[in-house]
Amino acid sequence: QVQLQESGPGLVRPSETLSLTCAVSGYSIRSGLYWGWIRQSPGKGLEWIGSTYYAGSTYHNPSLKSRVTISVDASKNQLSLKLSSVTAADTALYYCVTSYSMTTGSWFDPWGQGALVTVSS
Amino acid sequence: DIQMTQSPSSLSASVGDRVTITCRASHSIGTYLNWYQQKPGKAPKLLIYSASTLQSGVPSRFSGSGSGTDFTLTISSLQPEDFATYYCQQSSSLPGTFGQGSKVDI
């Protein structure tokens, strides 16, 4: 059973880079599945950020693509998110998620418990 | 992006009530529609995928239907643990987009 646990700084200053890590347990990140991030804020609701596959393919939300880096560290069985040039609009609860595919017809399950990130000086 | 619109945004109901939530897509998405339940302080949890298939472990009082642009989530007999916010999500095309949520409370 896949379990996901996010971690990272809860406060990031404007214009800096937000960095989060997701520890994966109960499943090898090399064994398949797509690993990604979704955020939730009062203003924008639930927003898919992007997802990546261990063997290479990465997908991003076009609205964030130029600022997002999603990567996998198979040696640590963890996923990371970097979001550059943050503003207050990036304040949100960030969830680590899995999906079996990123093609038509997939879904996100399970989700991590979430990590709250506030952007403020 | 495909826009997902849910109605109502919130509703008040009682234990035992039949509850229906609607989700409308801005473009036809076939049956590529998922439903999630979120309780306060918790992450969303997958309830239904592909419009009508119950995720393992989800009680049979939940059901989903629809295709094209109009979808429905029905709770046949509301239980105390069902008071939550429900979200639809389309998986027809990237980026997968979510509805704004429908909160079910007492």
pLDDT digits (tens, 9 = 90+) for B45-104: 999 999 999 999 999 999 999 999 999 999 999 999 999 999 999 999 989 999 999 999
End-to-end alpha carbon distance in chain A = 39
pLDDT at A15: 97
Q: How far apart are CA A96 and CA B42, in angstroms?
A: 13
**Token pair recorded at residue B72:** 């429905």
Query: Which range among A57-66, B23-32, B61-70 shows the weakest confidence by mean pLDDT?
Result: A57-66
Cβ separation A45–B94 shorter than 8 A: no
Report chain B residues touching chain A, CB-CB < 8 A.
32, 34, 36, 42-46, 49-50, 55, 87, 89, 91-101
Kindly tell me if the per-residue pLDDT of B25 is higher than 90. Answer: yes
* Residue in A97, A104, A113 with CA at minimum distance from that of residue A49: A97
Kindly tell me if the per-residue pLDDT of A105 is higher than 90. Answer: no
A102 touches chain B (CB under 8 A): yes
Cβ separation B32–A102 shorter than 8 A: no
Q: How far apart are CA B30 and CA B28, in angstroms?
A: 6
User: Quick one: CA dihedral A58, B26, B69, B62, positive or negative?
Assistant: positive
Average pLDDT, chain A: 94
Which residues of B fall within a CB distance of 8 Å from A110?
A: 45-46
pLDDT at A57: 86
User: Quick one: CA dihedral B90, B94, B96, B100, positive or negative?
Assistant: negative
